[in-house]
Amino acid sequence: MSPRTTSHRSTRSARSRLRPPSAVRRPTLYLAVAAAGAVLIGTATTGQPTAAAEPAAAVSIADRLGISAEPTGSVDQQIAPLEQLAASRNDRASEQAEAAEAQHARDAAARKKAEEAARRKAARKAAAEEAAREEAARKAAAEEQAAQEEAEAPAAEPAPAAAAAAPSGSYQDYALSKLSGDGSQFSCLENLWGRESGWNPNAQNPSSTAYGIPQFLDSTWAGTGIAKTSDGYRQIDAGLVYIDSRYGSPCGAWSHSQSTGWY
């Protein structure tokens, strides 16, 4: 290898290492050109270069070219506004998604409520129709039953016979007839009631509630099933009922009255 060639290559390599990259050289080159232009303009105008005007012209031209000689802040400071913008957009997207989800839930609840109301209305209508059918069926069954009963009803019963004629004659004759003509029993009865009331249906004991032919107390009337009355014939009926249930016969009642003074 030739020493000349080696020396030339070494020199060019050293120059390459000392030369900054093109991306760095260009802004510096622009600033240098701008400064040189400013110097030429100042020289042409005043005949002498003005050191104070040089930076102002350079800055003005750099500003016009939109070139910044030095960074204005760190990388974090430069990208912070972008991160804030992205976070703001994410927040808005989340709020919009939540609002859409809430609206969807409200719409679903409204649809469910409307469907439930429709089901209840249909159920009420079906129940009313069923009740109407049942009422119609009951009415038809009642009409059919009435018609059947009317068809099966026997002929009208004959009118009841005329009420028996009211008793007549003396109270003694009526009492004898009630005893089936038994003279001995009637004799005992005649003596018993003859002493009690003289067979007077209006006889009233002044010292008690004893009243009528048999001289019953108010409490005694109730036991005969016949209400207290001034009808002498009904008094005889009540007296015979009492004597039969308590003594068995008028003679039994008369015997008791003779021994105790009452029956």
Give pLDDT tens digits for 112-139. Answer: 888 988 999 988 888 888 888 888 888 8
Q: What is the pLDDT of residues 61-77, one digit of tens each?
A: 556 555 554 555 566 66
Query: DSSP labels for 151-189?
Result: HHPPPPPPPPPPPPPPP-S-HHHHHHHHTTT-HHHHHHH
User: What's residue 93's pLDDT?
Assistant: 83
- Nearest-angstrom CA–CA distance, 68 and 62: 7
pLDDT category at 215 given cuts 50, 70, 90 is very high
- Distance set, CA 173 to CA 60, 107, 130, 169, 190 (Å): 164, 104, 74, 6, 11
Burial class (CB in 10 A: 0-12, 13-18, 19+), 252: middle
Q: What is the pLDDT of residues 179-189, one digit of tens each?
A: 999 999 999 99
Is pLDDT above 50 for 51?
no
Both structure tokens of 14: 């050293």
- Nearest-angstrom CA–CA distance, 136 and 134: 5
Compute the average pLDDT of residues 4-24.
Answer: 47
- β-partners of residue 216 are 211
Dmax over Cα atoms in the chain, in whole Å? 195
pLDDT category at 260 given cuts 50, 70, 90 is very high
Half-sphere exposure of 162 (CA within 13 A, CB side): 2
Least confident residue range of 11-15, 86-90, 250-254, 256-260: 11-15
